[in-house]
Every structure is written in structure tokens, then in C-alpha cells.
Amino acid sequence: MAAQDLVGTARGVVDAFNAADWERCKSILTEDSECDEVGTSRCLVGHREIIPALQGWREGMPDVTGTVESAVASGNTVVREITWQGTQTGPLSGPSGTIAHTGKQQTTRAGWVMDFDGGLGQAKPPRLRHAVIHATARRPVAVVPSLGPGRVLA
């Protein structure tokens, strides 16, 4: 698979999230995909854990959208700069509990790295790392504390 195809597949995850198209998300992920949410310290394995986490973000911020500002592929890795924008009008669940709606708008710039198993010949990403670059808002929605001891991705 060409580098541009990998970038397209990586963008597809954000597009599927924006459309709340969970079946499309499932088709992009694998049973053993790993998602390392650096900001929440959550390590999720497989679409059965990753998709409910994505749905949880959507539940807390029903209007949230991600905009891929830039993307680049090198070897079997795609790096994307994403701007997430939304308003927390619903409960936001995280590893330390649930935060009641705040009504606050937020804009979060993040980097999302996707490593594709098998290099350019494999279209499904088994490992995703999502890290907040810089959060901007009138005020951040909330800070979700670390999970503490728990599962670590190899």
C-alpha cells in the first residue's frame, strides 16, 4: 500500500468518528489494535474497547469534530495533527469516573500516530497513540487523572 493510501486510511478513522460511524471504525481497526490515549492514561486493546471509548467522547461532547490539519507517512507510520472542537454538554466518562456536563467549549490540538502492521502492505493499524499537543479554550473542560497502575502496551 502506498504512503498516500495509509494517510487516507488514517484520515478515515477521524472521518468515521466525525460521522459517528462506528461500523466504519470497526472495519478500520482490528481485534488486536491498541490505542494509547496519552492524555487519559487509558490503554485500550481491540475495537471492542476502542470504539466504546470513542463513543464516550461523543456522548460527552455530541458536537465534537476532528479536523486533520496535516498528515505525513513514513514507512509504516502515519502522523496526523488534529484539531478537536466541541462543547461538553453530556457526561464525560474517564478512567477516574464521570464528569457532569459543564457546557464549556474546548479546542484541543493533538498528534495521533498510527503504526500499520506489516508496513505498506497492511491496511489495518494495530497501534494508535493519541497525545494532546496543546489545549486551548476559554477554559479546559476537565482534567482526567491518570489510571495509575494497570495495563501497559508493549
User: What top-level class would CATH report for the domain 3-136?
Assistant: alpha beta
The structure's pTM equals 0.77
Note whether 134 and 109 are within 8 A (CB).
yes
Per-residue pLDDT of 48-87, as tens digits, reads: 999 999 999 999 999 999 999 999 998 888 899 999 999 9
Per-residue pLDDT of 91-145, as tens digits, reads: 988 778 888 999 999 998 988 888 876 544 455 556 777 776 544 433 344 433 3
| Secondary structure, 3-state, the chain | CCHHHHHHHHHHHHHHHHCCCHHHHHHHCCCCCEEEECCCCEEEECHHHHHHHHHHHHHHCCCCEEEEEEEEEECCEEEEEEEEEEECCCCEEECCEEECCCCCEEEEEEEEEEECCCHHHCCCCCEEEEEEEEEECCCCCCCCCCCCCCCCCC
The domain locations on the chain are 3-136
Angle at 133 between CA 1 and CA 100, to 5 degrees: 110
